[in-house]
Structure 1
Amino acid sequence: MKGRCCKKRVSRVISTFFGGFFLVALSTYAQESPNIDETQSAELFLEDYSDDFQDKFFDALKQKGIENYDRAINLMLQCKQLDENNTVVDHELAQLYLKEKQYPVAETYALTALLAEPGNLWYTNTYVEILQKQQKSVENNKEQLPFDEPKFKENLALVYFRKGRAKAAKSILEQTPKSSFTQQLSVKVDDLIESQQAAITSSSFSATNVNRSESGSVEQYKARIQGMLRTNNYLSLDQVAAEALESYPSQPYFYYAQGYAYNKKGKPRDAIEVLETGLDYFVGDIALANKFYQELADAYNSINNSVKANMYLRKIKPGF
């Protein structure tokens, strides 16, 4: 009876109060159980925990969602006392301390979670982000990392690739056992390296050196922006997109480019504003719409509004 009531309580809280926020925090658990739905994942995760743990955990997520990080940290530390080996709690603490810019403490919790689950992509991504904030490299911490785990190396290569660090990704892939995943990723990494090298040699596409008279048409703006997106050259991308929007304010692609650049620069609120404005100009371009929704989801996740993030993720149509 108690278990049934507990499950009803979890389902009710998830659906009526936290929306998708709790599910984001437990996405790593769901990865290991692909045949159960998200609410079941939450129920299974919590069914062995006391009401005290559940209350503190849910409250911590609530506080994180409203950016009350100090309170969220205190609650997660209480959860840690109740279950010191809970890797989800370790990862949450790593992310919270990252938000508070307490990087050494964040690194400790991120490493604990990663060593407990070396095959977890999200733990790897968080750990790399924390190192980058401190101008540290994974290679300098190699001795304490699970480099003997092929899945960890695959995840690390993927994280590097997504961050535009193509040569670093290639270096890791060369040390990783061959698999269908590594072969597919290697092709993408090689393409990215080629694109980055082409961009370096094609100085005419540099955003800082091309004036408006040379790139006044929609097609020329798109060509410049596409080149910058292929090479992850987002440092001046928002300026180029803004320039394009001055002349062509009804072109949704330019809104996407500016929103993408803002996300990469850590300006999620600016990204949300420009991307949601650009949504008004869509005319049936499903592929571009998917890109908008993904960037909006990323931006809302960055400000801990997972309800809106999941709303946009649900809008993404597969196959485009």
Structure 2
Amino acid sequence: MKDLFFFLVIMVAVLGSQFSYAQEEKIIETEESAEVFLEEYTDEFQEAFFEATKQKGIQNYDRAVNLFLECKQLDSENEAIDHELAKTYLLDKQFFNAEKYAVEAIIADPTNYWYLDTLVEIIEKQSNTIESVQTTIPFKNHELQKNLSLVYYKREKFNDALIVVNQLPVSAFKEQLINKIEDALSRKSSVLNVKKPGSVIVNNDPVKSLELNLEQQISLEQFTMVESKAKEAVELYPLQPFFYFAYGLALHKNNKDSQAIDVLQSSLDYLFDNQKLANRVYQTLSDAYTKTNNFSKANEYLRKIKPGF
């Protein structure tokens, strides 16, 4: 049973390294090739890998990491182990170490979809963007860019996906994904009762109209536009807390966390009984303080969030 379990786990790792958009329906498993693969590893490696996977499964992350590091010593060129270390450190919320090993895995195999998916998750957990590691990974690799556009698309980050896919040369993949992204954006806009991204929502109340437009742009993650519009809104309507929130959120998303904290704290003077908005402000303040490594303040604002709103 142990051998069977190890076989399944290691094959997932191997097949994962061969995944790409164009190959989704071409993954082939045969008993013969699996046996040949397993023969390449020593009993010591197999035992360490199996036990590491088991320990990770029961959330004993320190022990799992140590065992995966043993595997790394036995086979230093195996990027699948780097990926397992990245995933384990991610589960343990050790994001610095997780990012280190995820980057190493991507450098070893830039075409691997799952390695990139894990790296993006680690980066997002730190409220960062792919630009933070762009110079350390082979970002110009077309397969990596194809995979990144898919990662964003599947995470419903449609504008990010569009930016990446537009950098690719003309191909059937590019055309198909752009069509899918545009369809998704169209459906999302329909839910928001607008004709297309960026269109103006008609409302007799100028404050409410501006608020609805900012909410739309926030939902589409157009934070450069949100920052500009919300800044103007704060100047026009200095007593409206939502505009401070939108401005502060955009600053945070655009990696201007010190400014974001100042703006978000200003909104607290105007919140009054709007607990739903207060929760959004507290969450964003917590995220911004986390990015500035002020964890005591981050926890302070997290505790202010009231459930049910």
Could you tell me how far apart the structure 1 residues matched to 2:109 and 2:129 are? 20
Count of aligned pairs between the two proteins: 193
Cα gap change, 1:122/1:70 in structure 2, threshold over 3 Å: closer, same or farther?
A: same
Could you tell me how far apart the structure 2 residues matched to 1:38 and 1:73 are? 30
Could you tell me how far apart the structure 1 residues matched to 2:52 and 2:38 are? 15
SS at match of 1:26: helix
Could you tell me how far apart the structure 2 residues matched to 1:140 and 1:162 are? 21
Could you tell me which of 17, 20, 24 is aligned with 2:12? Answer: 24
Which residue number in structure 2 is paired with residue 201 of structure 1?
A: 193
Could you tell me how far apart the structure 1 residues matched to 2:192 and 2:28 are? 47
Which residue number in structure 2 is paired with residue 100 of structure 1?
A: 92
Which residue number in structure 2 is paired with residue 170 of structure 1?
A: 162
| Equivalences for residues 119-268 of structure 1 within 5 A | 119-201=111-193
Which residue number in structure 1 is paired with residue 106 of structure 2?
A: 114
Could you tell me how far apart the structure 2 residues matched to 1:20 and 1:110 are? 22
CA deviation string 1:194-252 (max 9, x = no partner): 222222336xxxxxxxxxxxxxxxxxxxxxxxxxxxx99xxxxxxxxxxxxxxxxxxxx
Could you tell me how far apart the structure 2 residues matched to 1:194 and 1:35 are? 33
Larger-Rg structure: 2
Aligned-pair identity in percent equals 41
Relative to the length of structure 2, the TM-score reads 0.57
SS at match of 1:178: coil
Which residue number in structure 2 is paired with residue 64 of structure 1?
A: 56
Cα gap change, 1:161/1:106 in structure 2, threshold over 3 Å: closer, same or farther?
A: same
SS at match of 1:105: helix
Cα gap change, 1:18/1:49 in structure 2, threshold over 3 Å: closer, same or farther?
A: closer
Shift of 1:132: 0.2
Which residue number in structure 2 is paired with residue 255 of structure 1?
A: none
Cα gap change, 1:198/1:155 in structure 2, threshold over 3 Å: closer, same or farther?
A: same
Relative to the length of structure 1, the TM-score reads 0.55
| Equivalences for residues 29-48 of structure 1 within 5 A | 29=17, 31=19, 36-37=28-29, 39-40=31-32, 42-48=34-40
SS at match of 1:144: coil
Which residue number in structure 2 is paired with residue 246 of structure 1?
A: none
Shift of 1:147: 2.0
For structure 2, list consecutive stretches of 5 or more residues without a partner in the other structure: 195-218, 221-309
Amino acid at match of 2:135: E
More off after superposition, 119-128 vs 139-148: 139-148
Cα gap change, 1:85/1:116 in structure 2, threshold over 3 Å: closer, same or farther?
A: same
Shift of 1:50: 1.9
Could you tell me how far apart the structure 1 residues matched to 2:27 and 2:185 are? 37
For structure 1, list consecutive stretches of 5 or more residues without a partner in the other structure: 1-11, 203-230, 233-320
- Contact conserved, 2:162 with 2:178, CA < 8 A, in 1? yes
CA deviation string 1:165-219 (max 9, x = no partner): 00000000110122222221111011112222222336xxxxxxxxxxxxxxxxx
Q: Which has the higher contact order (CA 8 A, sep 6+)?
A: 1
Could you tell me how far apart the structure 2 residues matched to 1:36 and 1:127 are? 26
Could you tell me how far apart the structure 2 residues matched to 1:40 and 1:68 are? 34
Could you tell me how far apart the structure 1 residues matched to 2:134 and 2:15 are? 27
Shift of 1:36: 4.6
Could you tell me how far apart the structure 2 residues matched to 1:13 and 1:42 are? 16
- Contact conserved, 1:131 with 1:137, CA < 8 A, in 2? yes
Task: Give the superposed CA RMSD.
Answer: 2.7
Could you tell me how far apart the structure 2 residues matched to 1:39 and 1:14 are? 14
